[in-house]
Amino acid sequence: MTDADRPSPEAFLRAAAQEGRGRLKIFLGAAPGVGKTWEMLTDGRHRREAGVDVVVGVVETHGRRETEALVAGHEIIPRREVDHQGHGLGEMNIDAILERHPQLVLVDELAHTNAPGSRHPKRYQDVEELLDAGIDVYSTLNIQHVESLNDVVASFTRIRVRETVPDSILENAEIEVVDIPPDELIERLRDGKVYIPQEATRALGHFFSKSNLTALRELALRHAAQAVDAQMLEHVRSHALAGSFAVGERIVVAVSELPVAAELVRAGKRLADALKAPWTAVHIETRRSQSMTAGDRRQLADTLALASRLGASTASVPAASVVEGLRSFAADARATQIVIGKSTRPWWFEVRHGSVVDQLVRTIDDVAIHVLPGEPEIARRQPASVSMPGRWGKPAHYLWSFALVAVMTALGRVLLEAIDLGNISLLYLVPVMFAAATFGLRAGLFAGLASSLAYNFFFLPPTGTLSVNNPENVVSILVLLGVAVVTSQFAARVRAQADLAQSSARQNAALATFSRQLTAAADRDALMQAICAEVGRLLDVHSVLLLPSADGPVVRAAVPPEDRLGQIERAAAQWAIDNAQPAGRGSATLTASDWLFHPLQTTRGVLGVLGLTRDDAGEPVRSDQVPLLMSLLDQASIALDRMELEEASLHARQADERDRLRSALLSSVSHDLRTPLTTILSAAQEMRRDPSPAMAATIEAEARRLNRFVSNLLDMVRVEAGALAMKAEATDLFDAAASAAHDTRASLAGHEVKVDISPNIPLVRVDPVLLHHCLINLLDNAGRYADPDTPIVIRARRTADAILLSVIDQGPGIAPGNEKRVFETFTRLEGGDRAKHGTGLGLAIVKGFAEAMGLAVEAGNNPDPHGACFTISIPETLIIAPVDDKEIP
């Protein structure tokens, strides 16, 4: 089975990844008002009438009666209310949809940003979760919300859309374009069918101009066509279907080290622009590429860089021959047109090597081939004598081949008496195959000729001469020479393929190592240093990575360390950032720089630039390194973009957590401060009318409660700010437990506190104040959870490497899975009257204080009697052993 007949393994893997997932269909429009929601609801109704289980997850009708009428026929999943700054916002209820698990769910406005506090920040992430659960989704999207087109849309609308959807969401989605002419959309807008009249008038003067709508419409149609074309190619590759499937033009430009290649690239660019087609500049690496001079390599690198600047994808493909490589690449890319140049070479050159153009025309049937004339080969090449050593190999190769022929001759003389003369000729196949496989075709041919002559001279009568008396022996010599030639050809071809495979394996291994190094980076600084180190190692160059700033590019990593760059280098780096193109030595801009700067570019723009240089002041990147460099730049850009997005996501989560804590704090303060204050005010009013000790005791108790609450708030602020001032000293755990029990006797009324701590428990080195606060909060927590009139136990036990100090109650215990969650700030779990009393701070303070002292705290359940058990673990390093310390059982 050939590669063309074999299904693509990558396509199979991508198809396997989609198994079990739901299917996503996106109704894509050029602008609001084209009827995306109407079309989605209509298709949903048809599916429901066909027997499919369809529900509405979320649909925005914007008050349109026609849309509301379509929604009325569907089952609607009620939205989930999210409190945001005192206002209730309705968001899609993912949990309810997952529990309902319909076959199809309708989700409007895919690019919508969810309210803070939702499970996912973006609605498309909600859709991803539904798809992972095997639920099909219909959704709507406007073209300006596609991430890769954000800058393009902003360039002519002067409006930058903040809500975007990654292009990857659209890659596996079925896309239906909902389209109406711009004039009809403007008429709908004027009739108030899109916005209310005041907003419609303002929109007509800005976003909804006819020129903007026409451009957006073209973008939507073109993007949908590209997505369909990509999905079609994925299908034909996974099923190994033959043909180019030329529903869309795809252009391949074949480039070489010849100067005419630059003209080919420009011609390919003009053709791609005329056809609105993607195009690729490809260089086919053969064994002949190894003999290129430094000037040839520089010319090829310039050509590939030019193609990249003009918007082409670039590739370098190893192959046994140019024709085979081009044919294979064109078949894999499903190219419809090939642009190639024809150089004027001597007739004898084409007789020996053939014409690439003629062979392509004969062997490719379904691809249009554009042939551009080139300059004469002789005028460009150096004299043949200069390149002969590289083409014919080293003299040592021929010496080794001759020596091996001599060895086989000696061996044949020894075996002549034991074997037939005809079998002696087979010995000479050994040096032929060895020379061809090791040194190349020409050395193999030399070994074949030397073998024929040696066989004739030493073995065929009359021996010692090159004459042959028996005509049968002439046939033997010719057969031996023919076998030697054919064997040399096959062995040389195998060696060439092995060399190409080895080169490809080295590059793949380098990329895999580079990817592992980037994945292992813990933070952005480590990532940038890893990028510089690996690029420098793989390309044997000095490397530097700069990030943009208000004061110009700033060096963030370099190998070897480099913190100073000249003005021309900084200017080249800034130009590369501003124009998203290479600058510096070896490029077309600011070539006086000693460094070559390549932009690290993603869909979010240029993140930075990577600079390369060599000690010998040569070209920073050789032509054979260009494909590897492009792959390294792509991986580095993706890794840097991922790290920045992770940092941004972390900051966003921290901001969300602060908002959540702030909301929880306000909610807690509004309840837990008001309750004791109300009691104190009421008791004070009663005392004014009728003073009594009972009222005074009530005021004192509530004031203590209020003071404890305020203290917890202050303690929590100290924990989160890392401002705890710890003073460790020798502490007796029995005294600490007794003191905590004494201070909580009022709040624990009705519960007996038992201190079960042996006198043999040694002293520990902790902060007694912080430990006192920990025990108070644990006892207060136990008092709220414990069943009435049940004891609370403070117990200490010595283990081999720690002392375990536990507070045990007899209450409902902790539900499985909440053992760690109980220590989160402002977390209140159901059970007892916890939801009514308590701020959710006590256990968080215990955890913060314990960790500040070097202790650990964990929650669990006590089996007999049943209840919660909170244990503070004091490690061996904090235990003060007595002088006569004995082993404690």
Checking if the pLDDT of 885 tops 50, the result is no
- pLDDT, position 716: 60
Give the whole-angstrom CA distance, residue 141 versus residue 177.
10
| Tokens found for residue 667 | 């909610």
Checking if the pLDDT of 372 tops 60, the result is yes
Give the whole-angstrom CA distance, residue 213 versus residue 390.
61
CATH topology match: 18-238 vs 251-372: yes
- pLDDT, position 9: 55
Give the whole-angstrom CA distance, residue 637 versus residue 119.
29
Q: How many residues does the chain have?
A: 889
Single pTM value for the model: 0.43
Contact 722, 713 (CB under 8 A): no
- pLDDT, position 511: 66
C-alpha 78, offset from chain centre? 35
- CA dihedral of residues 666, 668, 670, 676 (deg, nearest 10): -150
DSSP labels for 560-580?
S------HHHHHHHHHHHHHT
CA-wise closest residue to 832 among 783, 779, 776: 783
CA-wise closest residue to 107 among 129, 81, 84: 129
In this structure, whether the domain defined by 251-372 belongs to CATH 3.40.50.620 is answered with yes
If you classify domain 724-878 with CATH, what class do you get?
alpha beta
- Name the DSSP class of 8: P
- Span 93-106, mean pLDDT? 91
- pLDDT, position 201: 47
Checking if the pLDDT of 765 tops 50, the result is yes
pLDDT tens-place string over residues 674-689: 666 777 777 777 777 7
Checking if the pLDDT of 495 tops 80, the result is no
What are the domain boundaries of the chain? Answer: 18-238, 251-372, 399-494, 724-878
Q: Which residues pair with 284 in a beta bridge?
A: 317
- pLDDT, position 712: 63
Give the whole-angstrom CA distance, residue 684 versus residue 270.
90
Q: pLDDT-derived band of residue 663, with 50, 70 and 90 as boundaries?
A: low
In this structure, whether the domain defined by 18-238 belongs to CATH 3.40.50.300 is answered with yes
- Span 319-337, mean pLDDT? 80
User: What's the half-sphere exposure (Cβ side, CA atoms, 13 Å) at 348?
Assistant: 1
Output 219 or 623, whichever has higher pLDDT. 219
- Between helix 471-520 and helix 441-458 the angle, nearest 10°, is 150
pLDDT-wise least confident of 192-196, 269-273, 535-539, 697-701: 192-196
Alpha helix (H) residue ranges in 540-673: 567-579, 626-672
- Span 352-362, mean pLDDT? 72
- Span 813-818, mean pLDDT? 84
pLDDT tens-place string over residues 531-561: 888 888 888 888 888 888 888 888 888 888 8
Checking if the pLDDT of 508 tops 50, the result is yes
Contact 782, 821 (CB under 8 A): no
- Span 184-208, mean pLDDT? 59
Output 834 or 641, whichever has higher pLDDT. 641
**Across all residues in the chain, what is the average pLDDT?**
77
- pLDDT, position 775: 92
Give the whole-angstrom CA distance, residue 179 versus residue 222.
12
Residue type, 862: N
* Residue 84: CB atoms within 10 Å: 15
- CA dihedral of residues 881, 883, 886, 889 (deg, nearest 10): -30
Q: Are strands 753-756 and 792-798 parallel, antiparallel or unpaired?
A: parallel
